[in-house]
A = this chain, B = another copy of it.
Amino acid sequence: MTPTTATSTRTAYDELVAISKETQLIGATAGLLSWDQEVNMPPEGVAYRSRQMSVLARLHHETFTAPRMGELLAECEGDGELMSDPLSVEAVNVRELRRLYDRQTRLPPALVAEEAELASLGQHIWAKARKDSEFARFAPTLEKIVELLRRKAECFGWAEGGEPWDALAEDYEPGCTAAGVEAVFTPLRTRLQAFLQEIAGAPKRPSNAFNERRLPVDKQEKFVRFVAESIGFDFQRGRLDVSTHPFCSSTHPCDVRLTTRFHEDNVNDALGSTMHEAGHGIYEQGLLGEHIGTPMCDAVSLGIHESQSRMWENQVGRSRTFWRWCHPKLADFFGKDVADLDLETVYQGVNIVTPDFIRVEADEATYNMHIMVRFEIERALMKGDLSVRELPGVWNGKYKEYLGLDVPDDARGCLQDVHWSSAAMGYFPTYTLGNLYCAQFFEKARADIPDLEEQFARGQFDDLRRWLNTHIHEQGGRYRPHELCEVVTGAPLSADPLMRHLEGKLRPLYGL
């Protein structure tokens, strides 16, 4: 290759990166507007905001799918030198931009705008329907969303033997298929259901006293902020606000926004939500700013993202050593209101297993059953095997079958999650994949840092955060999810670490 060609390809790569950065800026703007809609927007602002989101989605799509982008990708791909090391920053960026470009160019711009508007409007209608627990008010909108997502899946297409759901899941978990998820979920459900039955009939029952304590919301707010900061969320580069459904919104590593929610009678919900979202936030803050606006500064997948939130929520936040540090802090923040709660009572409270209706409040053991219900329903909706009208009945039936629960109303049933209202299907399984990745990563971190859990008891979380920074966050989009798992842990994803984690913790608590 002559120097001239190399220079020209380098220029092509630079131009490619410039377009990627501009696209990311527009996407980040849409992300901020979306955050604002949940946190700040006055009630009557919604119609205009939907149009605003739609225009931004169209601009994003237009910029990213411009024919120039295709030319630049081809030019870069043809440069053997640039692509020689497939794990180099340049090769990863070209590979991932190609994947995204090929997907985006399959979508008509009108569909992109339509989806953005429907998603924005859908969330608003869902929030009202949920408030009044009235699925019928949301159903016509959900029908439109399902119809649109089926059209979208048709645009993407799916592999031989696959199904429409696969086409959507690719956006959240590259390489993920419904059949693949089913292959993981079916045996996991068998093991979990057996274990949950053991727990239901266990000789001992942990104390629930911590979860019944009423604690003032303003003190809860100070407390969870303190914990988020202690575990390493950087408030110079982030915020914490309140929204109906907790989430983490990141426009770039220097502006990462978490939300949580508060109930006077459940500080554990606020703490769990905050540590969960802070885990997402620590991932985003740990991405390398030098690659901002390119796939090398993007998370690998939602499953890997969820492994990070679960890490801090469960592996850290529900561990005995964490509570050896945090239990005295409770007294600092809540004073006499918690004076009678000893360490053991609190530790039992945060780990109690109670089959219940709400996914985001679920304990570690039942959580994955909630996901399985959703996965099966959205898969059927996409296949056309289930109509929106039938959804509440099927939902309630599955909750009876998997968790033995009679769902009392739609607000605590099929209206509880924001995802479908924002046109996100194919997303839910990433939560369970995240739990599996998380347990496997944590076993490795514990092997690499022998006194890791003892550090938590001293309020030291830096070693774990740095380990995650190095092995996961700073890798950006270098590996595909399953590759990252193998690179980091030396083994393919397995359900064993999660089951070891759950059984290791819960058997003693339940006297099993």
Tell me the A residues contacting B by CB distance below 8 Å: 22, 25-26, 28-29, 32-33, 36, 40-45, 47-49, 51-52, 55-56, 59, 235-239, 251-252, 254-256, 292
Contact = CB atoms under 8 A, between A and B. Distances in A.
Contact of A235 (B32, B40, B41, B42): B42
Contact of A28 (B52, B238, B254): B52
- How many copies make up the complex? 2
9 contacts: A22-B55, A40-B239, A41-B255, A42-B235, A42-B237, A42-B255, A44-B237, A49-B255, A59-B59
A216 B239 CA distance: 25
Contacts of A56: 29
Nearest to A292: B48
Contacts of A29: 29, 33, 52, 56
A252 B59 contact: no
Contacts of A48: 28, 251-252, 254-255, 292
Contacts of A42: 235-239, 254-256
A238 B251 CA distance: 25
A282 B238 CA distance: 33
A25 B51 contact: yes
A173 to B, nearest CB: 27
A458 B236 CA distance: 47
A470 to B, nearest CB: 21
A335 B128 CA distance: 38
Given A32-B32, A40-B239, A42-B239, 18 more contacts: A25-B55, A26-B55, A26-B59, A29-B33, A29-B52, A29-B56, A40-B40, A42-B236, A42-B254, A43-B236, A43-B237, A44-B237, A44-B254, A45-B237, A45-B252, A48-B292, A49-B255, A52-B251
A238 to B, nearest CB: 5
A487 to B, nearest CB: 29
Which of A43, A45, A47 gathers the greatest number of chain B CB atoms within 10 Å? A45
A19 to B, nearest CB: 12
A230 B42 CA distance: 18
Contacts of A256: 42
A24 to B, nearest CB: 10
A372 B255 CA distance: 40
Given A25-B52, A26-B55, A236 B44 contact: yes
A200 to B, nearest CB: 45
A116 to B, nearest CB: 12
A45 to B, nearest CB: 4
Contacts of A255: 41-42, 44-45, 48-49
Nearest to A40: B239
Contacts of A52: 25, 28-29, 251
A53 to B, nearest CB: 10
A223 B52 CA distance: 34
Contact of A45 (B44, B51, B59, B254): B254
A69 to B, nearest CB: 16
A42 B55 CA distance: 26
A255 B26 CA distance: 21
A449 to B, nearest CB: 28
